[in-house]
Amino acid sequence: MSYLTLLKSLNYLFNPKSVAVIGASGTPGKIGYTILNNLLKGNFKGRVYPVNPNRSTILGKTCYKSVSEIPEQVDLAIIAVKADLVPEILAECEREGVKTAIIISAGFKEIGEEGKKREEKIAEIVKKGRIRVLGPNCLGVFDNYSGLSTLFLPDTRVEKPKPGNISFISQSGAMLAMFLDWMAKENIGVAKGISHGNRVDIDEADLIYYLAFDEETKVILIYLEGLDEGKGRRFMEACKFATFHKPIIVVKGGKTDAGSKAVASHTGAMAGSYNIYKAAFKQSNVIEAKDIQEMFDMAKALVMLPLMSENRVAIITNAGGVGVLATDALESRGFKVIELDEQTQRKLRENLPERCSVKNPVDLTGDASAEQYRIAINTVISLNYVDALYVCLLFQEPALGFEVLDYIYYAKEFGKPIISVIMGGGLAERISRIIENNGIPSYPTPERAAAALYALYQYSKIKQSYLKL
Amino acid sequence: MGRNTFLRLVNEAKKEGRNILYEYEVKNLLKSYAIDTTNPVFIRNKEQLESLNNINFPCVMKVVSTQIVHKSDIGGVILNIKNKEELLEAFEKIKNNTEKKGIKIEGVIVEEEVEKGLEIIIGSYKDPIFGNVIMLGSGGIYVEAYKDVSFRIVPINKRDAYEMIDETIIGSILKGFRGIKYDIFSVIDALIKVSNLIEDNQEIVELDLNPIYVYSQGIKVVDGRLKFV
């Protein structure tokens, strides 16, 4: 399949003009009700057709007995019926020229032999090459720009994030719901979320190729448990292709190997699947996060900050202890907390009170004022040997005025990444939210900020290696 | 040339109903890929051993059998053989050691004793998801205990090879830990050549080159196993 064909076919999945909800229901609480209701009262602009042979109207819309009765070309069929009815319904969709289908229904490969047979029937229909299928056993698609959402979860359980530039691919539907809810709470914008379930057709590689092209997506996140046999190489190709344009961060689930293999060689004994995934990620320029929190931390930095040219960081703090922890965290991630030159040190000493330490970290101490931060920030960030600025702010100190936030925003003009550590309780959390709304990522510990900056540096190196070709 | 050697060796092995290559066959294959190794002579019986000429002492004798994975564990390796008399003794010893355990042997190999170097392993494995992978690690008999290994999907380039060295502890020793420098370029060269060997011969499912001795100049593969389908 050519790249263009792939883009076109998957575009119907995210931007359909016409959608059929097969298995639509008028009974609140049923999946077929929630999906239809969400589509009708949400931001989706396309036309929506409920399909249910036993009803004439649902939620005030004309209900159709089958897809063949819908008076126009259907771009996307959302199938939420009993598993044993799915093959027949999908076959009808295929005959009627429906472009894509999302099979929400469970009861396939994941339940054993009977389900596996059903899934094989679906695979047969897909093989004809006229319809693309997401699922079965999935939550489907969330698109913050087209307004399409096939999530059958009530708003009271899953908050919707604002439109933004992070997209998430996950086998697991629950992980997708958690992602959206978490991003909403953190006030981080989301472009798309996809749960692909049993991936009888559309898989990670397809989705990565599509998101590589998607203008709204600037960072791709993946929760990956495992790929199907023989699918590794195409996954790597897709990642190499996409990371030319945008970063990919992955969290690998299932790192421990259950059971031992029957191998006699040392290499075979050591070749646990996680060792090999790790290698594949590296070779295809994918950044690996150790857990979900780290992935979101990294995503925040990558979506907000410009890239860095090298790995030299300057730290400014009003707490010596945090400066020490920040230095440890950065250096253990391979950064250089570089010593400031004589002239700069003299300049800082002339403009700052005597109590301040003017090496790196620049420690303004507990009495630091916003004005002193302004002086330190502007002096340090303009140095040509400083590639990123790492600002620690402890607002427990009453001397520190809130106008320091403005001084940090102004420093964005220097075009270098600025990352902030704001430690503490409720106030710290509220200020973090404010500073992030202005494009400065913020973290509650020095280690988490260092991990996020590490991802930024990793991607900067990846981008540089492409440009050197 | 490498591919032809492989096919010839595999055909011979298949005729005997084997899906592994013997150590001396693996070494022949390595030579066809210009990977430095020892020069074993295959000996089937005592008569062949007695008529063997041009031996450079000291030499080494190792058992050849499909039934043995770790030769030294069952007394199948005898080092530092100084003369013909000791050579014949060694043969009897290996025969006794294996017979006692009820192991059927095909014969032995005799090869030159080499200077010991830093032990590394280079191996390969066919992963069901990603296909052929290559491994570099701390070699010897404790590979699984040290777990000091790095993997890459095949084929690899020089950058991958460098990174594999960077990712292992043995790599930092290779780079010169206490003033002793090892020939890192020969290791990189060997990794690339093994990667090519695996790419050329897709029938290989498992390969262990272990140990490989690394010197201040050059490397030498001292032992090797290969399984094919």
Q: What is the tens place of the pLDDT at every residue in B127-183?
A: 999 999 999 999 998 998 999 999 999 999 999 999 999 999 999 999 988 788 899
Dihedral of the alpha carbons of A342, A343, A345, A347, in degrees to the nearest 10: 160
Burial of B32 (0-12, 13-18, 19+ CB in 10 A): middle
Mean of pLDDT values over B20-47 = 96
Write down the pLDDT at residue B155: 96
> What does the alpha-carbon distance between residue A148 and residue B20 come to, in Å, rounded to a whole number?
56
Write down the pLDDT at residue A269: 79
Task: Taking the CA atoms of B132, A234, A275 and B177 in sequence, report the sign of the dihedral they define.
Answer: positive
8 A C-beta contact, residue B49 and residue B87 = yes
Write down the pLDDT at residue A86: 97
8 A C-beta contact, residue A4 and residue A208 = no
Write down the pLDDT at residue A156: 82
Nearest by CB: B135 against A228, A264, A271:
A271
Write down the pLDDT at residue A272: 75
Write down the pLDDT at residue A261: 57
Give CA separation, A202 vs A78, A144, A331, A447, B171, in Å: 15, 20, 41, 37, 41
Pairing of strands B224-228, B204-214: antiparallel
Residue of B nearest to A264 (CA): B69
> What does the alpha-carbon distance between residue B38 and residue B115 come to, in Å, rounded to a whole number?
11
ipTM over 0.95: no
Nearest by CB: B127 against A266, A271, A278:
A271
Predicted confidence (pLDDT) at residue B211 exceeds the cutoff of 70: yes
Nearest by CB: A232 against B129, B149, B152:
B129
Q: Best residue in A265, A285, A465 to probe B by mutation, most B CBs within 10 Å?
A: A265
Distance from CA of B125 to the nearest CA of A (A): 6
Q: Is residue A106 helix, strand or coil? A: coil
Write down the pLDDT at residue A263: 61
Express each pLDDT in B49-98 by its tens digit: 999 888 889 999 999 998 887 888 888 999 999 999 999 999 999 999 99
Pairing of strands A362-363, B107-112: unpaired
Q: Which residues contact A466 (CB under 8 A, 6 or more apart)?
A: A244
- A306-467: CATH topology is Rossmann fold (3.40.50)
Which chain A residues are Cβ-neighbours of B124 within 8 angstroms? 267
Residue of A nearest to B152 (CA): A279
Distance from CA of A269 to the nearest CA of B (A): 7
0.90 surpassed by pTM? yes
Distance from CA of B55 to the nearest CA of A (A): 31
Task: Taking the CA atoms of A215, A292, A290 and B133 in sequence, report the sign of the dihedral they define.
Answer: negative
Write down the pLDDT at residue B66: 87
Q: Which residue has the tokens 């250089």?
A: A336
Query: Which segments of chain A belong to CATH 3.40.50.261?
Result: 3-302, 306-467
| The token pair that represents A197 in the structure block | 């379930």
Pairing of strands A76-79, A18-22: parallel
Which chain A residues are Cβ-neighbours of B125 within 8 angstroms? 263, 265, 267-268, 271
Per run of 10 residues, the mean pLDDT along chain A (length 469 residues) is 91 97 95 94 94 95 96 97 97 97 95 94 96 96 96 87 97 94 94 96 97 97 93 97 97 74 72 89 97 97 96 97 98 97 97 96 97 98 97 96 97 97 96 96 98 98 85
Nearest by CB: B208 against A267, A276, A280:
A267
Write down the pLDDT at residue A262: 59
3-state helix, strand, coil split of chain A in percent (to 5) is 45, 15, 40
Express each pLDDT in B85-140 by its tens digit: 999 999 999 999 998 988 999 999 999 999 999 999 999 999 999 999 999 999 99
- A3-302: CATH topology is Rossmann fold (3.40.50)
| The token pair that represents B177 in the structure block | 């830990």
